[in-house]
Amino acid sequence: MQDHIRDLLHRFQYSEQLKETAAFRILLGGEDPSHVMADLDIHNSYTLRNWVSQYQHKIQTGLFVAPAMTRTQKQDVHALQQCNQELTQLLQEANLLILALNTMIEVAEQELKISIRKKSGTKRSHG
């Protein structure tokens, strides 16, 4: 009987490294807590929330410094930065195209007297 109780108590004792890993995967990695629980064999969501809260407080008060990023994380950040640059470039090109199209519409409406934009209050023709 004592062995069973000892096994149960040992089952729910977690190392500081495991607590830290779980908390940082959620805080810095943005992972879903239920996924972290399943992956690290953590049996109580309250316990995990408590660890996250403790490490968040340590970070905010400067009592704990986040570990350096891994090589994989750095590569992911680089890939994200590259993707962000590409999307920024595409957005700039799209904005230029919109500006050009709006300019063409204004010229057509003003100079060529062609009505292109729907005026408020006008009805669509049924034809």
Question: Domain ranges in the chain?
Answer: 8-61, 68-117
Closest Cα to residue 51, out of 21, 31, 29, 10? 21
In whole angstroms, what is the distance from residue 98 CA to residue 102 CA? 6
Quote the CA–CA distance of 99 and 1 in Å, as a whole number: 78
Q: Is the per-residue pLDDT at 7 higher than 60?
A: no
Summarised one tens digit per residue, pLDDT across range 20-30 is: 889 888 987 88
Q: pTM of the predicted model, to two decimals?
A: 0.45
For the chain, what is the mean pLDDT? 80
Which of 29-38, 80-89, 90-99, 115-124 bottoms out in mean pLDDT, i.e. has the lowest? 115-124
What does the pLDDT average to over 76-96? 82
CA–CA gap between residue 110 and residue 9 (Å, rounded): 82
pLDDT of 110 strictly over 80: yes
Q: Count Cβ atoms below 10 Å from residue 51 Cβ, excluding itself.
A: 21
Q: Residue 94, SS3?
A: helix
